[in-house]
Amino acid sequence: MADKHPTQRPDPGANAGWSALGTLLGGVVAWGGIGYVLDWWLDIPRHLGLLVGMIVGISGALYLVMKRFG
Amino acid sequence: MGHQPTFLAEGFPPGVKDFDFESWIPSLRDSEWGLAFTKITFMVWLAVAIIIVYFLVSYRNPKLVPTKKQWFAESIYGFVRDGVARDVIGHEGLRFAPYLTTLFCFIAVTNSFAVIPLFQISPNSHIAFPVILGVISYVMFIYLGIKQHGAAKYFRTNLFMPGIPWPLYILITPIEFISTFLTRPVTLAVRLFANMFAGHLMLLVFTLGGVAMLGSANIFVMGLSVFSFLMAIVMTFFEVMVIFLQAYVFAMLTASYIQGAIADEH
Interatomic CA distance for residues B93 and B237, integer angstroms: 33
Taking an 8 Å cut-off on Cβ atoms, the answer to whether A64 and B177 are in contact is no
Q: What is the signed CA dihedral for B48, B51, B53, B56, rounded to 10 degrees? A: -130
Taking an 8 Å cut-off on Cβ atoms, the answer to whether B183 and A61 are in contact is no
3-state SS of A1-40 is CHHHCCCCCCCCHHHHHHHHHHHHHHHHHHHHHHHHHHHH
Taking an 8 Å cut-off on Cβ atoms, the answer to whether B183 and A22 are in contact is yes
Residue B37 confidence (pLDDT): 78
First-to-last alpha carbon distance for chain B, in angstroms, is: 67
Residue B26 clears pLDDT 90, i.e. is over it: no
Judged by DSSP in three states, B38 sits in strand
DSSP conformational letter for B6: P
Domains of chain B, residue spans: 9-262
Residue B18 clears pLDDT 80, i.e. is over it: no
- Tens of pLDDT, residue by residue over B171-190, are 888 888 888 888 889 889 99
Residue B231 confidence (pLDDT): 94
Residue B264 clears pLDDT 80, i.e. is over it: no
Residue B266 confidence (pLDDT): 44
Interatomic CA distance for residues B161 and B218, integer angstroms: 66
What integer best gives the mean pLDDT of chain B? Answer: 86
- CB contacts under 8 A, A 7-46 vs B, are 7, 9, 11-12, 14-15, 18-19, 22-23, 25-27, 29-31, 33-34
Interatomic CA distance for residues B39 and B14, integer angstroms: 13
Interatomic CA distance for residues B246 and B188, integer angstroms: 10
Residue B161 clears pLDDT 60, i.e. is over it: yes
* CA neighbor of B191 nearest in space, from B136, B242, B237: B242
Residue B91 confidence (pLDDT): 86
Interatomic CA distance for residues A30 and B243, integer angstroms: 32
Percent pLDDT > 70 in chain B is 88
Residue B166 confidence (pLDDT): 83
Residue B64 confidence (pLDDT): 81
Residue A23 confidence (pLDDT): 86
Q: pTM higher than 0.80, yes or no?
A: yes
Residue B61 confidence (pLDDT): 81
Q: Which of A2, A15, A26 sits opposite B175 (nearest CB)?
A: A26
Query: pLDDT confidence of B227, banded at 50, 70, 90?
Result: very high
Q: Beta strands of chain B (E only): which ranges?
A: none
Residue A9 confidence (pLDDT): 46
B20 DSSP β-pair partners: B38
For chain A, residues with pLDDT lower than 70 are 1-14
